[in-house]
């Protein structure tokens, strides 16, 4: 007898758990959702880029790194620290790394075998060899 | 000449046919995803909100759907993530207000106006609510949706062995709970 058959025959459990929804809920839900999404989907147009537009991001990035390098040197000089001081640059880089992490949307499911086994071990469950 | 009809996935990827295909997607997946969420959060209104969030996220992320995974697997992942995040928030709130999360889940079940089961069904829901959240998820997918372990593994990203052990334990715990009620 399977686990499910056992639950149903010994404890008289129904296939359903008695949950219901308002009448016509799913039709109404589909209508409400369609009202929320835009009528048209913008089709991205291909724009021909000039040479300057193509290299502009790289130029800006180089300028940014040059600026950061200069700022670091100015701070270390004004603070009277040597250029190889281990603590002088770390906070600046940490700030730079942290600026772009907000707003990241992750739809990856946060479940692992470890989570499942943790729950079992916490309850003192021993896994049968037949599994 | 290729006369094959474009699949739902193809039509969803094409901006010209996306909206129409999305209506079909809603028709096909609203019900299974609703029950997936509802069994986890118990409350109909919460399930309704989370289902809307699920489809809105799917709509906005449609360009990122490459078709490597099955559409149903992708949607189930989004729905389960929404439900787990909601339950985490509830748990944090319960911890802050010193409530017992299991107790508050049972309160939600007792107050559920969209329930027409008998006493056995009510006890069954309470028994499921005593399980840790991820065990509830595995139990529901196996027991109610009758999904294969391999399909659950694909959605949850866990191994078949861990799922079998989890389901086996969940059943034992539910049996214990029901025995104590009879």
pLDDT, one tens digit per residue, over B55-99 is 999 999 888 777 767 899 999 999 999 999 999 898 887 776 655
What is the pLDDT at residue A14?
63
List of chain B residues whose C-beta atoms are within 8 Å of the C-beta of residue A131: 161, 164-165, 168
Read off φ and ψ for residue B99, nearest 5 degrees.
-85, 155
Q: Are B42 and B105 in contact (CB under 8 A)?
A: yes
**Token pair 């219901």: residue:** A20
**A26/B30 CB distance under 8 A:** yes
Count other C-beta atoms under 10 Å from residue A55's C-beta.
12
Q: What whole-number distance in Å separates Cα of residue A24 and Cα of residue A26?
A: 6
The tens digit of pLDDT for each residue in A56-115 reads 989 999 999 999 999 988 877 777 655 555 554 555 544 544 444 433 344 556 677 877
CATH 1.10.10.10 corresponds to the domain B95-182: yes
Residue A66: the pLDDT is: 93
Question: Tens of pLDDT along B21-40?
Answer: 999 999 999 999 999 999 99
- Count of CB atoms situated within 10 Å of the CB of B10: 13
Helix axes B71-96, B18-41, angle to 10 degrees: 40
CB B82 within 8 A of CB A60: no
Which of B84, B134, B144 faces A116 most closely, judged by CB atoms?
A: B134
Instruction: Give the pLDDT score at A75.
Output: 79
Count Cβ atoms within 10 A of the Cβ of residue B31 and give its class: 0-12 exposed, 13-18 middle, 19 or more buried.
middle
Cβ–Cβ of A19/B117 closer than 8 Å?
A: yes
Nearest to B136 by CA among B91, B98, B180: B91
User: Which pLDDT does position A97 carry in this prediction?
Assistant: 45
Between 1.10.1740.10, 2.60.40.10, 1.20.140.10, 1.10.540.10, what CATH number should domain B1-93 receive? 1.10.1740.10
User: Which class for B172: exposed (0-12), middle (13-18), buried (19 or more C-beta within 10 A)?
Assistant: middle
Q: Locate A104 and state its tokens.
A: 């990241």
Cα gap B176→B118, rounded to integer Å: 19
Cβ–Cβ contact B158 with A under 8 A:
yes
Q: If you search the block for the tokens 């929320």, which residue do you land on? A: A36
Of A4-13, A55-64, B152-161, give the lowest mean pLDDT range.
A4-13
Helix, strand, or coil (residue A19): strand
Q: Out of A14, A41, A120, whose CB is closest to B18?
A: A41
Residues of A in contact with B122 (CB under 8 A): 18
> Residues 6 or more apart from B150 whose CB is under 8 A from it?
B160
**How do residues B107-121 score in pLDDT, each as one tens digit?**
777 778 888 878 888
Of A20, A42, A111, the CB nearest to B116: A20
Cβ neighbours of A14 in B, within 8 Å: 117, 120-121, 124
Q: Domain spans of chain B?
A: 1-93, 95-182
Neighbours of B38 (CB within 10 A): 23
Mean pLDDT, chain A, whole residue set: 73
Which of B27, B55, B166 has the CB atom closest to A120's CB atom?
B166
CB contact under 8 A, B57 and A107: yes
Flag whether residue B171 sits within 8 Å of chain A, measured between CB atoms: yes
Question: Which residues of chain A does B155 touch, with a Cβ-Cβ cutoff of 8 Å?
Answer: 109
Torsion sign over Cα A28, A30, A20, B88: negative
Residue among B54, B136, B126, B127 nearest B87 (CA): B136
Say what the pLDDT of residue A101 is: 40
Q: What is the C-alpha separation between B7 and B115, in angstroms, rounded?
A: 37
Which residues, at least 6 apart from A65, have a Cβ–Cβ distance to it below 8 Å?
none
Q: What DSSP state is assigned to residue A42?
A: P
Interchain CB contact of B23 with A (< 8 Å): yes
- Verify whether the Cβ–Cβ distance A14 to B121 is below 8 Å: yes
pLDDT recorded at residue A28: 96
* The length of chain A, given as a count of residues: 131
Residue B9: CB atoms within 10 Å:
16
The vertex-B47 CA angle with B20 and A7, nearest 5°, equals 115
């Amino acid at each position: 007898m399977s686990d499910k058959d056992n639950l149903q025959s010994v404890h008289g459990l129904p296939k359903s758990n008695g949950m219901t929804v308002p009448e016509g809920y799913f039709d109404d839900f589909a209508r409400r959702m369609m009202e929320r999404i835009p009528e048209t989907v913008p089709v991205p147009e291909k724009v021909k880029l000039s040479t300057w537009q193509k290299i502009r991001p790289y130029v800006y990035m180089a300028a940014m790194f040059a600026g950061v390098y200069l700022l670091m040197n100015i701070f270390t000089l004004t603070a009277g620290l040597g250029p190889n001081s281990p603590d002088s640059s770390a906070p600046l880089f940490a700030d730079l790394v942290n600026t772009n992490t907000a707003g990241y949307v992750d739809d990856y499911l946060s479940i692992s075998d470890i989570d499942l086994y943790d729950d079992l071990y916490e309850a003192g469950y021993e896994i049968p060899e037949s599994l | 000449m290729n006369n094959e009809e474009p699949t739902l996935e193809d039509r969803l990827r094409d901006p010209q046919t996306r909206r129409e295909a999305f209506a079909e997607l809603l028709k096909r997946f609203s019900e299974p995803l609703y029950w997936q969420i509802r069994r986890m959060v118990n409350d109909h209104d919460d399930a309704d909100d989370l289902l809307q969030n699920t489809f809105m996220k799917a709509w906005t992320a449609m360009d990122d759907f490459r078709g490597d995974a099955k559409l149903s697997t992708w949607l189930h992942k989004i729905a389960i993530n929404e439900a787990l995040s909601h339950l985490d928030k509830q748990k944090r709130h319960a911890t802050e207000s010193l409530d017992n999360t299991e107790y508050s889940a049972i309160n939600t079940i007792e107050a559920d106006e969209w329930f027409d089961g008998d006493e056995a069904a009510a006890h069954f829901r309470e028994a499921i609510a005593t399980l840790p959240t991820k065990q509830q998820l595995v139990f529901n997918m196996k027991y109610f949706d009758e999904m294969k372990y391999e399909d659950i593994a694909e959605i949850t990203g866990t191994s078949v062995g861990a799922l079998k052990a989890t389901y086996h334990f969940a059943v034992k715990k539910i049996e214990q709970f029901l025995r104590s009620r009879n």
